[in-house]
A and B are shown apart, each in its own frame.
Chain A
Amino acid sequence: AAGVIQSPRHLIKEKRETATLKCYPIPRHDTVYWYQQGPGQDPQFLISFYEKMQSDKGSIPDRFSAQQFSDYHSELNMSSLELGDSALYFCASSLGSEQYFGPGTRLTVT
């Protein structure tokens, strides 16, 4: 069965640089979520989209923005990166009750 695809899987950036994370949801899933998981932490919700419209927003910094495109893929744009942005970033998608996560993008900011 198709799963959520995230790219890149690993990303190393320097402070103050920008990063773009991509997510391709499971086909026909209409909702996409982004979560951030810091080292030793539980995942924290950032933002979600339903049918290409932002549906909810969590503790997402103003330096971050996201959108969902007409083909349902989503991108998380992160600017002015800080050391504290180093984390595992998950995209998840759902159609109904169950929410499936992608493999994550591990971002390291040096």
Chain B
Amino acid sequence: AQKITQTQPGMFVQEKEAVTLDCTYDTSDPSYGLFWYKQPSSGEMIFLIYQGSYDQQNATEGRYSLNFQKARKSANLVISASQLGDSAMYFCAMREGDAGGTSYGKLTFGQGTILTVHP
């Protein structure tokens, strides 16, 4: 069964607008971490944001925020004030077995969402 699901193969947004990229996950482990990465056409994998399953507040990093809804098992990425440089593939990933800030587990990725920002 797919552990990480990104249902939007592609998304379009107008420059300066906000966009939400969806991610749902499936795990029976009470301790887990959720990640978002950006992969531009050049290929590198850029870490954006992390949310631990026990974190009480939604993670934020600059224009990125993670809308964490634990009961729904969703971890959507919100990008505010989109820029042309945000056009890229975005991956949601999960690590099971997180242990309060120190963890060494592998990441399982979703299929990715291609975001295109229009001027």
Contacts and interface: CB of A to CB of B under 8 A. Distances in A.
Contacts of A103: 43-44
Contacts of A30: 104
Interface string A68-110: 0000000000000000000010101010111111111010000
Interface string B71-114: 00000000000000000000100010010011111111111100
B45 A104 contact: yes
A61 B27 CA distance: 26
Interface of B is mostly: loop
Interface residues of A, number: 27
B37 interface: yes
Interface in B17-38: 33, 35, 37
Given A42-B91, A50-B104, A88-B43, A101 B98 contact: no
Interface of A: 30-31, 33, 35, 42-45, 48, 50, 55-56, 58, 88, 90, 92, 94, 96-104, 106
4 tightest Cβ-Cβ pairs between the two chains A and B = A101-B45, A42-B109, A45-B106, A31-B104
